[in-house]
């Protein structure tokens, strides 16, 4: 049965623990479109997508989260960017060969995970953690242990469902006002949640999944939120980047190619600027600053 990409929030009635469950397969397929990523990189992007979706859903304000992996291995960068409306995009930059079944360490080498939280109104927060875990989920556990945040666990699954690539996951988090004894309850719920299988996440109804995992618990399930692929690139944003380049560089490209072709690396959209466009952009820039 076809399941739409959705994020669900839920609450354990008898414990100070909240949860999230996301299915993001269609969004994942969009992110991989127009790219020819090796299989391990596809999987990494799927895991990052699920993590970013689950993390953005923990925000208590409007804004966006970028989860980015960077290192000195063949995968220089893998990044997913998402916002509170669950609009997601992502890209990977590869330089070199990524063998089949590469581990995270083989792909990224010595690297870091950088989580950037940008509120629409307010100050940007950035957390950095060395990539020491075997998997992305391990690295996220390190991140939550090292930063002074609420105890949080993520469960990420990627795979194939009905012949198409699929991704989903779950999150558990202790509530800020948790009473004593919540830690044991949390550990118990973590053990239960860890048994979730990819095929269950990809194909079963949410109520069925929650019943299978927590049949002895009272769980309140809230209204779901749609998850979708959406790129935030625009011609204006490209123009804003162009004015930061030197006139010399811009003129050089114009003379060589006749126009400037800026392609969005996230969605593949091309924005073409010719000499007239550039003149207009420069005039506008002057008017803006004088």
Report the interface residues with Zn ion, using CB under 5 A.
231, 233, 264, 266-267, 269
SS3 content of the chain, % helix, strand, coil (to 5): 35, 30, 35
β-sheet bridge partners, residue 174: 17
Q: To 5 degrees, how large is the angle CA 265–CA 267–CA 273?
A: 70
Instruction: State in angstroms the smallest separation of the CB of 135 from Zn ion.
Output: 29
Q: What is the C-alpha separation between 55 and 246, in angstroms, rounded?
A: 38
How many CA atoms within 13 Å lie on the side-chain side of 191? 5
Please name which of 136, 127, 158 lies closest in space to residue 32, comparing C-alpha atoms. 158
3-state secondary structure of 32: helix
Q: 56 or 87: whose CB is closer to Zn ion?
A: 87
Minimum Å distance from CB 59 to Zn ion? 23
Nearer of residues 150 and 263 to Zn ion, judged by Cβ: 263
10/271 with CB nearer Zn ion: 271
CA–CA dist 167, 49 (Å, integer): 8
Cβ at position 33, least distance to Zn ion in Å = 12
Helix (H) or strand (E) holding 221: strand 219-221
What's the closest the beta carbon of residue 260 comes to Zn ion, in angstroms? 16
Closest approach of Zn ion to the CB of residue 262, in Å: 10
Beta carbon nearer to Zn ion, 15 or 266:
266
Give 178 or 264: the residue with its C-beta nearer to Zn ion.
Answer: 264
């Amino acid at each position: 049965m076809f399941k739409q990409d959705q994020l669900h929030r839920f609450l354990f009635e008898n414990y100070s623990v909240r949860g999230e469950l996301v299915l993001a397969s269609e969004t994942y397929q969009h992110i991989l479109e127009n790219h020819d990523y090796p299989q391990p990189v596809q999987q990494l992007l799927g895991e990052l997508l699920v993590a970013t979706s689950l993390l953005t859903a923990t925000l208590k304000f409007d804004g966006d989260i970028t989860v980015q992996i960077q290192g000195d291995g063949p995968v220089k960068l893998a990044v997913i960017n998402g916002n509170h409306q669950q609009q997601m995009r992502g890209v990977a930059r590869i330089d070199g060969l990524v063998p089949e079944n590469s581990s995270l360490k083989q792909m990224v080498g010595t690297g870091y995970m950088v989580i950037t939280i940008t509120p629409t109104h307010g100050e940007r927060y950035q957390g950095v953690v060395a990539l020491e875990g075997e998997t992305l989920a391990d690295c996220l556990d390190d991140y939550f242990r090292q930063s002074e945040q609420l105890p949080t666990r993520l469960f990420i699954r990627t795979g194939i469902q009905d012949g198409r690539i699929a991704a989903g996951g779950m999150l558990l988090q202790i509530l800020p006002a948790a009473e004593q004894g919540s830690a044991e309850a949390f550990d118990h719920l973590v053990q239960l949640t860890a048994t979730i299988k990819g095929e269950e996440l990809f194909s079963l109804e949410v109520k069925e999944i929650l019943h299978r995992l927590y049949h002895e618990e009272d769980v309140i399930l809230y209204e779901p939120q749609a998850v979708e692929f959406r790129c935030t690139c625009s011609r204006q944003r490209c123009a804003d980047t162009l004015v930061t380049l030197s006139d010399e560089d811009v003129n050089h490209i114009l003379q060589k190619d006749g126009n400037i072709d800026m392609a969005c690396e996230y969605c593949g959209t091309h924005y073409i600027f010719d000499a007239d466009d550039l003149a207009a952009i420069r005039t506008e820039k002057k008017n803006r600053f004088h």
